[in-house]
């Protein structure tokens, strides 16, 4: 089954398979695929992961995209060659096929890609983490009965090995400062002691949001224009609950953000 994919959005990080062909490749989820440029232009290994009802090329994809000088609006044609191998043609926005330069043929760190694939791929043999076992929250956070039920539901979606922290969106998180504090214990045990860029991803969505993590002694947070963009594009409101599930990656710290929308006290 051949397919085409136009490069849009955050295509340098990951690419979703077209919906109409996904059923043909469900058996490849959690495996490394071999992508070969037509005419012997080089071979790359890229992991295919399942996320909700999507199949996503992610571990190793950024290396493939960079080595092949893939740009916005390029069109990629994937020809299935059998087993887990695809032959790939790359066309620019004007329809001309791109040729790979010798200097762009890179060695691929297959063990690192396999590790990232293992970390990102759902595994039916893994048990989800019981609530409060690996879910951190601020000491002063008090949840009502309804919020506890919502938190347990979100926690059931977290893989057992992935640490996560829970927060409830307050009005102060949405004001001009637009920031959200990260539990001190979570930061101390899992995050670096330096300010750096990280990434946020929503389940079942292809888009990835970069975000600035600020490290200060006694206070760590996501804040600034990048965090505001995530808030606005995901329509976060006061009372919404966010569970940030940390996933390991080869080069960048990433979080899958599970969101439970606020439930009104009175309906109708």
What confidence tens digit (pLDDT) does each residue in 194-229 have? 999 999 999 877 788 999 999 998 899 999 899 999
- State the Cα–Cα distance between residues 169 and 183, nearest whole angstrom: 14
> Among positive and negative, which fits the CA dihedral 110, 113, 119, 125?
negative
- State the Cα–Cα distance between residues 117 and 29, nearest whole angstrom: 10
Max avg pLDDT among 84-93, 94-103, 120-129, 248-257: 84-93
In this model, does residue 98 exceed pLDDT 60? yes
89-98: long-range contacts, CB 8 A cutoff, minimum separation 24: 89/37, 89/38, 90/37, 98/68, 98/69, 98/74
DSSP line for 131-149: TTTSEE--TT----HHHHH
- State the Cα–Cα distance between residues 116 and 56, nearest whole angstrom: 13
Average per-residue pLDDT for the chain: 82
What pLDDT, on a 0 to 100 scale, did the predictor assign at position 125?
36
What pLDDT, on a 0 to 100 scale, did the predictor assign at position 130?
42
The answer to whether the pTM exceeds 0.85 is no
State what percent of residues in the chain have pLDDT above 90. Answer: 33
10 Å CB burial of residue 103 (0-12, 13-18, 19+) is: exposed
In this model, does residue 132 exceed pLDDT 50? no
Give the 3-state secondary structure of residue 117.
helix
């Amino acid at each position: 089954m051949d397919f085409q994919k136009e490069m849009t959005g955050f295509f340098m990080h990951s690419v979703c398979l077209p919906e109409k062909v996904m059923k043909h490749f469900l058996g490849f989820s959690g495996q490394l695929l071999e992508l070969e440029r037509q005419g012997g232009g080089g071979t790359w290994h890229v992991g295919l992961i399942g996320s909700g009802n999507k199949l996503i090329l992610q571990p190793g994809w950024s290396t493939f995209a960079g080595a092949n000088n893939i740009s916005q609006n390029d069109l990629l044609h994937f020809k299935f060659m059998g087993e887990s191998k695809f032959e790939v043609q790359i066309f620019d926005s004007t329809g001309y096929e791109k040729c790979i330069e010798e200097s762009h043929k890179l060695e691929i760190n297959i063990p690192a890609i396999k590790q990232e694939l293992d970390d990102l791929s759902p595994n039916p043999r893994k048990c989800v983490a019981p609530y409060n076992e690996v879910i951190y929250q601020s000491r002063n956070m008090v949840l009502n009965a309804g919020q506890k039920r919502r938190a347990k539901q979100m926690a059931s979606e977290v893989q057992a090995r992935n640490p996560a922290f829970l927060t409830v969106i307050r009005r102060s998180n949405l004001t001009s400062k637009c920031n959200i504090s990260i539990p001190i214990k979570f930061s101390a045990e899992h995050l670096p002691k330096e300010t750096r860029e990280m990434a946020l991803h929503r389940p079942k969505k292809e888009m990835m949001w970069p975000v600035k993590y600020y490290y200060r002694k006694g206070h760590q947070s996501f804040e600034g224009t990048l965090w505001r963009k995530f808030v606005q594009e995901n329509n976060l409101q006061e009372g919404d609950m966010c569970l940030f599930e940390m996933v390991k990656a080869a080069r960048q710290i990433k979080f899958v953000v599970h969101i439970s929308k606020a439930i009104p006290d009175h309906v109708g």
